[in-house]
Structures are given as structure tokens and as C-alpha cells.
Amino acid sequence: MLLAAYQFLINNWAIIIPISISIISLLISLFSFHRISNYHKYEYAVRLQLVDQRITWNPFPLSDAVFIFNANLKNKGLKPVEITRVDFACGKLFDLGKCVIKTRIGRTHLSPGEGVSIDFKISGKEMLEIECKYGINQCTILVIVKYKDTAGTEVEKKELLGGFDEGNVPIFVLRGGDAVT
């Protein structure tokens, strides 16, 4: 049996070598395609950033408190991005059913390098009203950015900005650099 296989290899070496080379080159091309497609996914990925963020948060006394947020939402990627909407949620942390949603930007497109200004302001009295309305003991502020990725599916990114926790203890969020959304 082993001798028959050996004789087959010797008699058909002219066929086996080209087939082996073809299989190896096919594997190399598949590996290269996979690598390049991953590179393109990264290179053309959506890169939105909140730049030039300014948060003014004066939590005391609570009745006179004010929260002001200003930033630019900038497209740092290579492709245009379709922004579905930019909302601010005020209420229970990550429970949008117990939040008041305030839309700041509707459907828009950002070219590469283009940005749009986002401004938001809420008073301490409004935050206390939200707590009473939903029967919660905290009022946090989230920025929610919804956009379409390169495949056309809608993506939602949330970022905590600040607010009040249980017992009306202020929440401060410290950041270093621009926030990626």
C-alpha cells in the first residue's frame, strides 16, 4: 500500500507540484484578502468625537443649580457620516424609560473634518421636577449620539455628563482629551 502511494507520487510529480503551488497561492490570497478587508473596516470606520467640551456645573444650592454643556461633534473619519440625532437624557441612569429626552440635533450629515455645535442647559429645578415625575432619587444627564455606520446600521453611543445621585449628591465626570462617540 505504501509502495503504491510512493509509485503514484513518482509517476505523477508533474501534476502534484502545480496543484500544491496552486493550493498554497490560494491560501496566501485568502489571507491577504482577510487582512485588507480588516484594514478597510478600520480605515473607513466612523470616527465621531465630542471636541472642545465645556461643562459648567454649579450644583449648590440645588434649587439654584445649573448644568450647561457645550461641545462640537466632529467627524474625524475619512467618510461622510449620517447623524440620525443627538439627544440629552435627564433622569435615571441608563434607564431611558425614566428620562426626559431632549433632542438637540435632528438628521444631518457631516463631511470629513466637519463639525456641528451642541448646546444644552438644564436647571436644578427642572432636575428636581424630573425626579418627582418619575419617582426616582437621582437625575443624571447623558448625551446620546445616534448615527449610521459604514454598513448603514444605526449605532447609539451614550456618555454620562453629570447630575445628582441619591441624596442629591452631585456627580462630576472627569475627562482627559476628546470623547469618542
71 and 156 inside one domain: yes
Q: What is the pLDDT of residue 34?
A: 78
Q: Residue 112 — very low, low, confident or very high, per pLDDT cuts 50/70/90?
A: very high
68 and 134 inside one domain: yes
* pLDDT tens digits for range 55-70: 888 877 767 778 899 9
70 and 133 inside one domain: yes
Q: What is the pLDDT of residue 156?
A: 93
User: What mean pLDDT do residues 97-118 have?
Assistant: 92
21 and 72 inside one domain: no
CB distance 48 to 75 below 8 Å = yes
- Whether pLDDT at 89 is above 90: yes
> What distance in Å separates the CA atoms of residue 44 and residue 2, rounded to the nearest whole number?
54
Q: Residue 34, exposed/middle/buried by CB under 10 A (0-12, 13-18, 19+)? A: exposed
24 and 87 inside one domain: no
- Whether pLDDT at 6 is above 80: no
pTM: 0.73
56 and 130 inside one domain: yes
The least confident of 119-123, 129-133, 171-175 is 171-175
Identify the CATH number of the domain in which residue 127 sits.
Answer: 2.60.40
Range of the domain at 22: 2-43
In angstroms, what CA-CA distances link 144 with 6, 52, 66, 154, 160? 68, 17, 20, 13, 9
CB distance 72 to 54 below 8 Å = no
82 and 163 inside one domain: yes
> What distance in Å separates the CA atoms of residue 112 and residue 104, rounded to the nearest whole number?
21
Q: How many CB atoms lie within 10 A of CB 36?
A: 10
Asked if the bond preceding 61 is cis, omega within 30° of 0, the reply is yes
- Whether pLDDT at 41 is above 80: no
31 and 101 inside one domain: no
Q: Residue 39 — very low, low, confident or very high, per pLDDT cuts 50/70/90?
A: low
Backbone φ, ψ for residue 81 (5° rounding): -125, 135
The single-letter code of the amino acid at 21 is I
CB distance 106 to 131 below 8 Å = no
Q: How many domains does one find in the chain?
A: 2
To 10 degrees, the CA torsion angle through 123, 126, 128, 130? -140
87 and 168 inside one domain: yes
- Whether pLDDT at 71 is above 70: yes
65 and 121 inside one domain: yes
pLDDT above 70 coverage of the chain, percent: 92
79 and 17 inside one domain: no
157 and 119 inside one domain: yes
> What distance in Å separates the CA atoms of residue 110 and residue 9, rounded to the nearest whole number?
63
